[in-house]
Amino acid sequence: MDVTANTGAPRTRDGRFRNNHRNSAHGGKSLLAFLREWRKAGWNRPTFPKAHNDPAWLAANRSETSFTWIGHASFLVQLDGLNILTDPVLSRRTSPVQWAGPVRIAPLGLSLAELPKIDVVLVSHDHYDHLDAPTVRRLAQRDAPAFVVPLGLQAWFERRGIRSVTELDWWQQTEVRGLQVHAVPAQHFSGRGLGDRNRRLWGGYVYERAGQRHYFAGDTGYGPDFAEIGRRHAPIDVAMIPIGAYDPRDFMRPVHVDPEEAVQIHRDVGARCSLAMHWGTFRLTLEALDEPPRRLTLALRAAALTPEVFRVLQHGQTWRP
């Protein structure tokens, strides 16, 4: 698979990746202060319904474009006969172990058994809520998909026996299984342990096939990168943009957008329609779990946009543009 380069992510003197426009650390208060607030927080416990979907239709579909929200940042996208997964996490917890760590508090939209054969997997970065080792290992064994990952992650996959991996720097592009994939910047950070912070890149993807162009934002704070993505790739037919995990704001602002910033990303990248993600699946921050969609509705109203241009799917819901 040929990889075409066009500039790339900046690095520090010791070789770690960094963001284009902002420090890759959390802002404001310290992690310890955030953890103290976490312990004192009173949690609402909303019930999230699982939408009816049709795995048999998904397995047979070879022509119709569809998006199924599995939960968090995991989508099944069907495009011109290809089955694409974004940041697949099917485990009960987002953690190095399954007996501790953030637990899934919403229904799993599609199980592995319900997924059609997967052709391409797009991974935005190495955090546990976006890169789940048991899930990618089972996908590799079952379907042997092509994985596209940010720079520095290929070795992680190869240590687990997964060889069909292409890693990309920002603004590089490649073609896998007939899908044209462009890696684009995000405002975030990486790390799975104590000593590997920012040793691997993070980012989003713009991908194209059969005259359609989609954008998967990954995990990100807000910054000027999105206007540049729009300048290079607009118009975007469908964008998948995070709306949750944003409070306390002074701590999360550098790494997670809020719903108002998500609407701005929608506009910056020139999206015709966007789908909300990264909310209501795992408890990661302090806002109420069901708050992000309510704030998104208000943000769209303030921007004079209709709800149809930035949709919120139920877990498991399939949407056909």
Read off the pLDDT of residues 270-304 as tens digits, 9 standing for 90 and up.
999 999 999 999 999 999 999 999 999 999 999 99
**Which of 5-19, 25-39, 49-63, 87-101 is the most confident on average?**
49-63
pLDDT at 99 over 60: no
In sequence order, what are the residues at sequence separation of 6 or more whose Cβ sits closer than 8 angstroms to the Cβ of residue 295? 243, 258, 259, 260
> Is 35 inside a domain boundary?
no
Answer whether 219's CB lies under 8 Å from 73's CB: yes
**% residues pLDDT > 70 (the chain):** 94
CATH number reported for the structural domain that contains residue 313 in this entry: 3.60.15.10
How does residue 6 score in pLDDT terms, banded at 50, 70 and 90?
A: low
Please state, in angstroms and rounded to a whole number, the distance separating the CA atoms of residues 21 and 3. Answer: 25
pLDDT at 28 over 90: no
Average pLDDT over residues 25-51: 76
Please state, in angstroms and rounded to a whole number, the distance separating the CA atoms of residues 24 and 202. Answer: 11
**Which of 40-44, 101-105, 195-199, 200-204 is the most confident on average?**
200-204
* pLDDT at residue number 80: 97
The larger pLDDT score, comparing residue 32 to residue 48, is at 48
pLDDT at 100 over 70: no
* pLDDT at residue number 255: 95
Average pLDDT over residues 61-85: 98
Q: In which domain, by residue range, is 202 found?
A: 45-319
Answer whether 208's CB lies under 8 Å from 216's CB: no
Average pLDDT over residues 105-127: 97
Beta bridge partners of 76: 68, 85
* pLDDT at residue number 5: 60
Answer whether 128's CB lies under 8 Å from 98's CB: no
> Is 32 inside a domain boundary?
no
**% residues pLDDT > 90 (the chain):** 85
Local structure of 103: helix, strand or coil: strand
Torsion angles phi and psi, residue 184, rounded to 5: -130, 160
Please state, in angstroms and rounded to a whole number, the distance separating the CA atoms of residues 313 and 77. Answer: 14
Q: Across the chain, what does the average pLDDT equal?
A: 93
> Is 5 inside a domain boundary?
no
> Is 33 inside a domain boundary?
no
Torsion angles phi and psi, residue 68, rounded to 5: -120, 120
* pLDDT at residue number 1: 52
> Is 187 inside a domain boundary?
yes
Please state, in angstroms and rounded to a whole number, the distance separating the CA atoms of residues 248 and 131. Answer: 24
> Is 233 inside a domain boundary?
yes
In which residue are the tokens 């921050």 written? 285
* pLDDT at residue number 27: 73
Average pLDDT over residues 53-67: 97
* pLDDT at residue number 102: 84
How does residue 109 score in pLDDT terms, banded at 50, 70 and 90?
A: very high
Alpha-helical segments (H) within the chain = 31-40, 55-60, 133-143, 154-158, 225-233, 249-252, 259-268, 291-302
Torsion sign (Cα): 82, 124, 139, 147: positive
* pLDDT at residue number 137: 97
Average pLDDT over residues 201-213: 98
Answer whether 17's CB lies under 8 Å from 190's CB: yes
Domains of the chain: total: 1
115 burial via Cβ count (<10 Å: 0-12, 13-18, 19+): buried
pLDDT at 123 over 70: yes
Q: Which of 138, 146, 92, 99 is nearest to 115 (CA)?
A: 138
Please state, in angstroms and rounded to a whole number, the distance separating the CA atoms of residues 285 and 283. Answer: 6
In which residue are the tokens 């953030």 written? 102
Alpha-helical segments (H) within 89-207 = 133-143, 154-158
* pLDDT at residue number 313: 98
* pLDDT at residue number 2: 58
> Is 96 inside a domain boundary?
yes
Average pLDDT over residues 245-267: 96
In which residue are the tokens 């009816």 written? 52
* pLDDT at residue number 34: 77
> Is 95 inside a domain boundary?
yes
Average pLDDT over residues 172-179: 98
Average pLDDT over residues 179-185: 98
